Structure 1
Amino acid sequence: MSTGTIAPPPISGRQWLTLFVLIGSGFMLSVDFSILNVALPEVGAGVGLGVTGLPWITSAYALPAAGFTLLFGRMADLFGRRRLFLSGMVLLTGASLLGGLAANPEMLLTARALQGLATAMALPAGLSLLTTTFTEGSLRERVLGLNGALLSGGFTVGALVGGTLVSLLSWRAAFFINVPVAVVILVLTPYLISESRVPDRGRLDLPGAVTVTGGLLAVIYGVIERNLPSAVVGVLLLAAFWRIELRSPAPLAPVRILGRPTVKWGNYAGFVIFIMEPAMIFLTTLYLQKILGLSPLVTGLIFGVPGLAAVAAGVIAGRVIGRFGNRAVLTVGLAVQGLATLPLVFLGADRAALMVLIPALFVGFFGHVTCIVAYTVTGTSGLADEEQGLATGLTSMTQQVAITVGIPILSALAATQSVELAGIHLALSVDVAVTLASVVLIWFGLRPRGERRTAAAGVPVPEEAGRTGHR
């Protein structure tokens, strides 16, 4: 059945260059997250960091990247998106140089923390520049599809590039590779992108900024370190943030926006997407290397080849959303992600399992990136341009927090079993169950208002009412 979708206008040459800058920066930031993961022992040995300190090479990046994203997303609205984006790129350049020259653990971890802070600045600002440069509708969906493909592909490329650089050169090259890319972005951005304008600039909600940032940092630290007091303090700070936002005359995150079904359920979907899929990849990596005895290089190839499906999904997803609506695409894509994980629950210790695993990864990665595009479209739709920094800050924060806490949570669940393979199976079973249950919640949570009013009375609703984000 045709939905009468209007084809998006062609993208001009200048817009393609703008896309190159904004999507390229997002790709580089997603590569940054994973590029050192495959080389942690070499990095630790290079600066004298012990085995017990290696997880902090990742955590030092993840904490500020997740904790400060919402704050910087709102600051982009108030003080200029291009300004914050460029500031993030400058900070990333300096942090990467510091990391590449690190001579001790303190320099290395400081560099990683500054890279995470740069990500918190640049990622929501860059995404909000995308959503305001390309108007809501089919063109924005197409652009966000390309963005989703490269963001997801960045995690895979980071692992492959990291391993290659370390093998051919040194772990320091994994830091230095950012510098020329960031310099090109810094040179091109002022010529291609205008500064955002806020007609009535409000003041920054300082109490809200302090409580939400402190709360997120405390909760994430509590999860990473399994520190209950820190997690409790974080929850209390987030509760205080909610109370502050209800009473503040100029809230950091207005409750009326947080209460919108598209924002609320879109970000819930993003949280599930980014908790479950990276954790699945981590658990599957353990399975491949510890159970099947495969090398890191072969493991990277097993994930890298199906990663091509991620690129295809990003290109296709925007067009599919334009035809069927983000509600349908989001729930179907999330169901595909969950169902593709289901066969992994039953894999044994024989390498013949690869015959099942690799096709499942192809299908799962396709569903995963489709979800990423659909949740980004959902979470940023129906909002004014001056609120796009907040909206993209929320979606970016959701992604960073979920990636950071998902692996520790499911790893802890797997560790409850004495047999390693049984633990992996248990954690993956929970992954599937939570993902599929969330599909149902999101489907009903994103019902259009008209459908909600008439559902109880049994009044049929036209198919077009099931589309969200198109007004």
Structure 2
Amino acid sequence: MPESVLSTPLTTTTAAPPGPGGPRKSLVLATACLCQLMVTLDASIVNIALPAMGGSLDFADSALPWVVNAYALAFGGLLLLGGRVADLAGHRRALLAGLVLFGVASVLGGFAQTPAQLIAARAGQGVASAVLAPIGLTLIMVTFTEGAARARALGVWSMVTAGGSALGVLLGGVLTDLLDWRWVFFVNAPLVLVAAALASRSVATARPPRAGRLDVVGAALGTGAMSVLVYGLMSTDRHPWDSPRTIATLGTAVLLGLAFLGWEARFASAPIVRLGVLRVRTAWVASLIVTLIGAAMLVGFYFCSLHLQNVLHYGPLAAGAAFLPFCAGTMAGSMTAGRLGARFGGRATLTGGLVLAGLGMLWFSGLGVSSGYLTAFVGPSVVAGAGVGICMVANTAMGTSGVDPREAGLVSGLLNAGRQCGGTIGLAVLSTLAVAATRHAAAAGDSTPAALAAGYDRAFVVTAVLLAVAALIAVVFVPAPPRRKAAGV
């Protein structure tokens, strides 16, 4: 890989632009962003509606979390496979299939009459999202050349990625309070119709499907490893980390992962993940950093929401509206990341965004029972949001630079899988730390709200540390841009 590609990920041009008969770029970007909006929205929109769902369908307390877990398990487990499907089947075909499945699952979820029906519908949404998420990024990679054009497109896409979760919390509160919990599913139907119309008009069959068959053994091992890992991590709220069940589950995930790597490296004739792609520095560094960003994003949203509702006693609608400053910060950061990258280089932009996001999370750790919204919540929301927007764009641009268009889906799947697994791992680990801190504070005599705030604050501090580690990785492993020669030299 040429050093110039690695050192200037936001300004280097290596890919050819689409020909005159290619897709319309603005419509392709709109299609990619709408698909990403549905994926990120669906991951958070049901959270506030869970109590209403539980009461309406008579959920058992132990079954209600599976409305969230079924989606996360299917989504996280199938992301690598979903990314490869786009490369093998063709972008438009895979995209339309994913949209149809997402729309059908959403409508079935809205009409669900039993807990089992709702959980099955959520699993269907997760399967569809595992196809839609990588394809959206893939479309940007193959449509926009590296440099300013791709940076602007990634800015919009990253803004949707980061802001969609906050918007989901807000929209979930609005729909649940003003209409009915079923509308958190029905709202997807018009989005699917618009996305399908845009895709049919703008996304061409950019190239015929690649020769060869899908690596069935590799797909089974990779999906199994991801699924078991996600399931094991999600179960730590009921089974401690040192319990035999948790150890056995995570150990099984590790064994399946090793078997997957061995099969892909030595036996697969057409591997679902060509391990050689990880020799490209931009690919593995970006995948590692996005794992830490994913942990910070999900943990930040989760514990901020808990603090607003459990400590400050906000209702669902007010808690959702409270995230608007974060959305504004993310939008600002995402839209300025391209200009920052062009001026200061990819490494400085990525590192600066990670540091800014970390400072915002550290600021959140000062939240207490008497913290006011304007004085203690808006400031860190804007700072953390801006940092997340900047580092998401810069990291995605770095990870997709110099990638063979035929492997765009693979790299997209890796980046999405990293973000999803990072969020799942981060939430599982930091929830344990938060509970321990809460118990310690309660034992010391703190009131319940104060004890909860102490636990949430511990999680924010650790999240800031994770972002600091990501910034250190960026400084060490992302090459600096080449020095410009002085005029006349």
- TM-score, length of structure 2 as denominator length: 0.87
Q: Are the structure 2 counterparts of residues 199 and 48 from structure 1 closer, same or farther at C-alpha, using a change threshold of 3 Å?
A: closer
1:238 aligned partner? 257
User: How much has 1:246 moved relative to structure 2?
Assistant: 1.5
TM-superposition CA deviations, 1:51-70 (whole Å, max 9, x none): 22221111111111111111
1:17 has 2:24 as partner: no
* Pairing partner for 1:370 from 382, 390, 408: 390
1:428 matches 2:448: no
Deviates more, 1:250-259 or 1:217-226: 250-259
Question: 2:39 & 2:11 partners in 1: Cα distance?
Answer: 33
Structure 1's unaligned 5+ residue stretches are 449-460, 466-471
Deviation, structure 1 residue 400: 2.0
Q: Give runs of ≥4 in structure 1 deviating > 3 Å.
A: 3-7, 461-465
Name the residue aligned to 1:279: 299
Q: In structure 2, what is the Cα distance between the partners aligned to 1:185 and 1:284?
A: 31
386 and 236 in structure 1: CA distance in 2 versus 1, 3 angstrom threshold: same
Provide closer, same or farther for how the CA distance between residues 221 and 464 of structure 1 changes in structure 2, counting only shifts above 3 A: farther
Q: Is 1:36 matched up with 2:68?
A: no
Distance 1:13 1:191, change over 3 A: closer
Counterpart of 2:290? 270
The answer to whether the Cα contact below 8 Å between 1:347 and 1:353 also exists between their aligned partners in 2 is no
Q: What is the identity, as a one-letter code, of the residue corresponding to 1:109?
A: I
The superposition leaves residues 392-437 of structure 1 with CA deviations (integer Å, 9 ceiling, x where unpaired) of: 1111111222223322221111111213333222222221222212
Match status 1:84 vs 2:94: yes
| The 10-residue stretch of structure 1 (184-193 or 329-338) with the greater mean CA deviation from structure 2 | 184-193
Distance 1:66 1:18 in 2: 25
- Per the TM alignment, residue 354 of structure 1 is displaced from its structure 2 partner at its CA by 4.8
Is structure 2 residue 356 aligned with structure 1 residue 336? yes
> Distance between the aligned counterparts of 1:217 and 1:88, measured in 2?
19
* Among 311, 329, 334, the residue aligned to 1:291: 311
Instruction: Tell me what 1:348 maps to.
Output: 368
Partner of 1:454: none
Aligned to 1:177: 187
Q: Residue 271 of structure 1 aligns to a residue in which SS?
A: helix
Q: Which of 431, 438, 442 is the equivalent residue of 2:470?
A: 438
CA contact (8 A) 1:337 1:364 kept: yes
Give the structure 2 partner of residue 455 of structure 1: none
Deviation at 1:298, TM superposition (A): 2.7
| Contact 2:85 2:131 (8 Å CA) reproduced | no
Match of 1:186 among 180, 193, 196: 196
Alignment of structure 1 residues 47-126 onto 2, 5 Å: 47-126=57-136
Per the alignment, in what secondary structure is the counterpart of residue 196 of structure 1?
Answer: coil
Offset, 1:199: 7.8
Q: Which stretch shows the higher mean deviation, 210-219 or 296-305?
A: 296-305
Alignment correspondent of 1:150: 160
CA RMSD of aligned residues (A): 2.5
* 1:251 aligned partner: 271
The answer to whether the aligner puts 1:312 opposite 2:332 as a matched pair is yes
Determine if contact 1:219/1:231 at 8 Å carries over to the other structure. yes
Distance 1:184 1:293, change over 3 A: closer
Distance change in 2, residues 1:425/1:69 (3 Å):
same
Could you say if the C-alpha distance between residues 168 and 289 of structure 1 is closer, same or farther in structure 2, counting changes exceeding 3 Å? closer
Give the TM-score taking structure 1 as reference length.
Answer: 0.90
Cα shift readout 1:137-181 (whole Å, capped 9, x = no counterpart): 210111011011112111111111111111121111111111122
Residue by residue, what CA displacement relative to the aligned partner does 1:432-458 show, whole Å, maximum 9, x if unpaired? 22221221122212226xxxxxxxxxx
Partner of 2:323: helix, strand, or coil?
helix
Shift of 1:48: 1.8
Cα 1:411/1:5, change in 2 over 3 Å: closer
- Is 1:412 aligned with 2:432? yes
Q: How many residues are aligned here?
A: 451
* Partner SS, residue 479 of structure 2: coil
| Displacement after TM superposition at 1:323 (Å) | 3.0
